[in-house]
């Protein structure tokens, strides 16, 4: 199977700062997080697609979202395997796997091995890293 190449988006930190709100910039570009249960998309149950707040790349679909009780929007599968990249994250004295947008490198959240079948994964994603496009 051929690997799909993702066209990368490159901007300076100043360009990102002008494009994003201060909260979005802190989370997406400085690897921050929003407090649990406060994100605008945590309680979203509409049908549609979740896109990267920074570059607009399609990341997750509503049919792969589930209620994890974690306080952040949670998905069991990205829209394609190439949509996200993962990296080891040892910050704050924890061992976690960070999830970034493959197109622009923006921080999205983390993935954990305690999600539902069929993948068993829980992509725990910050609302501030996402824009939601409701299905028409």
Residue ranges and CATH numbers for the domains of the chain are 13-134 (2.170.150.20)
Residue 17 known to be catalytic? no
- Residues at the binding site are 52, 55, 101, 104
pLDDT at site 4:
61
Adjacent-strand bridge partners of 61: 49
- Residues at the binding site for Zn(2+) are 52, 55, 101, 104
pLDDT at site 95:
87
pLDDT at site 33:
94
pLDDT digit string (tens) for the chain, length 136 residues: 445 677 899 999 999 999 999 999 999 999 999 999 999 999 999 999 999 999 999 999 999 999 999 999 999 999 999 999 999 988 878 888 999 999 999 999 999 999 999 999 999 999 999 999 999 8
CA 112 and chain centroid, separation: 13
Supply 136's token pair. Answer: 């028409």
Supply the pTM of this predicted model: 0.92
Supply 10's token pair. Answer: 């490159």
pLDDT at site 1:
45
Q: Which of 53, 83, 124, 128 is catalytic?
A: 124
pLDDT at site 86:
96
């Amino acid at each position: 199977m051929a690997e799909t190449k993702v066209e990368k988006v490159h901007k300076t930190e100043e360009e990102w700062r002008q494009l994003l709100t201060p909260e979005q910039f802190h989370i997406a570009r400085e690897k921050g997080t929003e407090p649990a249960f406060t994100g605008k998309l945590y309680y979203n149950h509409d049908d549609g697609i979740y896109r990267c707040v920074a570059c607009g790349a399609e990341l997750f679909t509503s049919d792969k979202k589930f209620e994890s009780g974690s306080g952040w929007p949670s998905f069991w599968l990205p829209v394609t395997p190439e949509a996200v990249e993962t990296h080891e994250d040892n910050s704050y004295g924890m061992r976690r796997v960070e999830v970034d947008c493959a197109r622009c490198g923006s921080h999205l959240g983390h993935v954990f091995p305690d999600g539902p079948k069929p993948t068993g994964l829980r992509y725990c994603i910050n609302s501030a890293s996402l824009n939601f496009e409701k299905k028409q």
